[in-house]
């Protein structure tokens, strides 16, 4: 008799994906980057995007999929721009806006070994006026002179003239 475990696993994965997608924000999708929190094959909680890339001024929204499981996202260090989300679960989704370019390292205070992430905030493009400005002329670099050839020691001729 054939086992239905692979098919059941696939169906469960598709159902979880559908649940994640149904919880993602639809309005202003360009301004919000959604990161789901799911269980991996080892049963550990992980972020679906551990190295998120956003633009300056965009927001990140974390969506917990499993009900009844609490998470709390905190910055790795005081210098990181993430604010402690406080405890949340699948009934609420924290959302934070990042206005300053840079790299933010964070983790879940409850699941610190498996739930670690990075958010790379890229600067928006420079205004068109700055882009049209003439490039600055570079100062001429002094040309290095080649070192003088080494003088060869004269060989004795012994009067033979060649």
pLDDT score recorded for residue 146: 62
Distance CA 111, CA 156 (A): 85
Residues spanned by the domain of 45? 28-124
The verdict on residue 39 lying in a domain is: yes
The yes-or-no verdict on residue 145 having pLDDT over 80 is no
The yes-or-no verdict on residue 13 having pLDDT over 80 is no
The verdict on residue 151 lying in a domain is: no
pLDDT score recorded for residue 100: 92
pLDDT digits (tens, 9 = 90+) for 88-108: 999 999 999 999 999 999 999
Is the Cβ–Cβ distance between 118 and 105 less than 8 Å? yes
Listed in sequence order, the residues at least 6 apart from 142 whose beta carbon sits closer than 8 Å to its beta carbon are none
The verdict on residue 137 lying in a domain is: no
CATH of the domain at 118: 2.60.40.420
């Amino acid at each position: 008799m054939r086992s239905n475990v692979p098919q059941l696993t696939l169906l469960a994965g598709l159902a979880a994906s559908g649940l994640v997608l149904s919880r993602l924000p639809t309005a202003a999708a360009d301004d919000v980057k959604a990161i789901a929190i799911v269980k991996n094959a080892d049963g550990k909680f992980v972020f679906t995007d551990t190295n998120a890339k956003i633009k300056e001024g965009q927001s990140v929204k974390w969506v917990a999929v499993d009900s009844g499981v609490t998470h709390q996202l905190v910055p790795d260090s005081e210098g990181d721009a993430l604010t402690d989300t406080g405890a949340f679960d699948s009934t609420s989704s924290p959302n934070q806006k990042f206005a300053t370019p840079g790299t933010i390292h964070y983790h879940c205070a409850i699941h610190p070994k498996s739930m670690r992430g990075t958010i790379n905030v890229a600067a928006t493009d420079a205004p068109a006026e700055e882009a049209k400005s003439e490039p600055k002329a570079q100062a001429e670099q002094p040309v290095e002179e080649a070192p003088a050839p080494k003088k060869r020691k004269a060989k004795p001729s012994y009067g033979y003239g060649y």
